Structure 1
Amino acid sequence: MESPVTIDRAQALEAFHRYVGRYDAENPRIALKVEHTLRVAELCERIAREQGFTPAGVDLAWLCGLLHDVGRFEQLRRWNTFNDAASTSHAALGARILFGDEAADGGKAGSIRAFIADRSLDGLVRAAVEHHSDFRLPEGLDVRTRAFCDVVRDADKIDILRVTCTDSVETVLGVSEGELLASEVSPATEEAFFSHRTVVRTERSTPADYLVGLACFAYELVYPASLDIALDQGYLFQPFEKPFGITRPFDKPATRFLMNRMDGHLRAWIDERL
């Protein structure tokens, strides 16, 4: 029987900090992504362990989480944005950087070999990085690769949900509290919510749409452990209850009514699955 590949976590962490160290440490958006990355790696580890992955599989899930957002740092340096539509796919960029197709800042790619010496996992790791933000995973992935892609995608969604608790609306959306509360939910986003799917980026046109899009993450969590973790952390209903710590209601009665209806619908949907 083939022995599992050993992943040296200390080596991988050192390589990660060396890579992000070439970017502006004074930029709060860089710090934000470093913290997000480390949390996602921990969440990947927890999901994999609770879903019964082997110890080697748990380590591999952790590594995929550590690498998933490598492209964000170079995206910010080149385009000064985290908006893929206004720049490039950060996931695809991260895969190109890791696997040597494209030079990162400093003139040298952040090679996957700095993180893990064995080449046998390259295809799986590349898929986990490259497809973590896809609306849907591509057809044709083998069962094992898809399983790890799903772990990373679940962990990423869980941690993105926490922004509604820990960050400001200005930081995340670039709008004021007043602008958020004056906005409405677009018909396309409302349809996505009640169809139990995530909102496509092109369907989001208002600040309120972003909140609903976050709540829709619950529908797409693949692993039962992921839903349990999201509930434990208390972020699932935050987009409706107190987004970005805002306690004032939406300005328009119709928006308030719709948000309350969505909150109840999501709670009922989750109760059916527990």
Structure 2
Amino acid sequence: MMSDAEVPGLEPLRAWFASYCDSFRSADPEQQRNFDLKEKHTRNVCLAARRIAQGESPRFCTLAEVAAVCHDLGRFPQFRDYHTFKDSDSVNHAHLSAQVVKQRALLDFLPREEREAVEIAVRLHNAFEVPAGLPPETEKLLRLLRDADKLDIWRVFIEYFETPEEERPSAAGLGFPDLPGCSPEVMDAVRKGKMVHLSSLRSLNDFKLLQLSWIYDINFVSTLRLIRERGVLEQFAAILPADEAVADVLAQVRGYLERRLKEGAGAA
């Protein structure tokens, strides 16, 4: 496998990211918690991208990490300027990330075709669906980045509920009220195997179900294995309302996960 030393530009990009995070340091502990959240998230997405890409070409693994480093650069100015991570109340953070990448010429060490693939993956990683018509390698990179991003967002979200309220990163819950129960239309969408739209949410419990529905959008068998290995469904069961309707939805999602794993047995 190609070593980092054989990929000019990757180590400087990692170093640049550290200095970029430092440039947003805040004396306000509440603000800094949110910046720290995104720095840790990015580093974890880099690790997840590498792990999901195991078995792919060394070059593809490198591009996966490059895309992961860049994917949430827009979160930092987004929170600094708008004090939220909710794109609908501020800016599209993925588009802003792609803008930072271009403005800082971060990908000049890559050939044009690879540079364009990374830029597209960064700009579209938060799209509701992967658009049709992308070059195959670009689509593959985008799908991998989306998987790696979801894997760590689940960790962030679970940790949010395990953290004392006064120590939580304020923007992680997107400002949804912590109301009892779940909206029937959101429950119904997950039960039918559909992704939930952010615009349909009314509460923090609905937001939990939206994240649960992301399992229907996972692309790589290796990601599905990590979901089971990390006990993602069990963790969501622990933070969702303990009632029969929710248990049915969780069983539906668990069945989908197991079917996909069985279909992908022996695959990369």
TM-score (norm: length of structure 2): 0.84
One-letter code aligned to 2:255: A
Distance 2:39 2:190 in 1: 30
Q: Deviations over 1:227-249 (max 9, x none)?
A: 10121122233222x22xxxxx7
Match of 1:131 in 2: 124
Match of 1:205 in 2: 202
Match of 1:105 in 2: none
The Cα of 1:84 is off from its aligned counterpart by: 0.3
Would you say 1:149 and 2:146 are equivalent positions? no
Match of 1:112 in 2: 106
Quote the sequence identity (%).
25
The Cα of 1:168 is off from its aligned counterpart by: 3.0
Distance 2:187 2:107 in 1: 44
Q: Deviations over 1:53-99 (max 9, x none)?
A: 10111111111111110100010111111110100100011111211
Match of 2:186 in 1: 189
Match of 2:219 in 1: 222
SS of the residue 2:233 aligns to: coil
How many residues matched? Answer: 245
Cα RMSD (Å) of the superposition? 2.2
One-letter code aligned to 1:265: Q
One-letter code aligned to 2:173: L
Assess if the C-alpha contact under 8 Å between 1:95 and 1:126 holds in 2: yes
Distance 1:84 1:59 in 2: 28
Assess if the C-alpha contact under 8 Å between 1:61 and 1:151 holds in 2: yes
Assess if the C-alpha contact under 8 Å between 1:161 and 1:236 holds in 2: no
SS of the residue 2:181 aligns to: coil
SS of the residue 1:222 aligns to: coil
SS of the residue 1:121 aligns to: helix
Match of 2:153 in 1: 160
**Structure 2 unpaired stretches of 5+:** 1-5, 262-268
Match of 2:266 in 1: none
Assess if the C-alpha contact under 8 Å between 1:47 and 1:226 holds in 2: yes
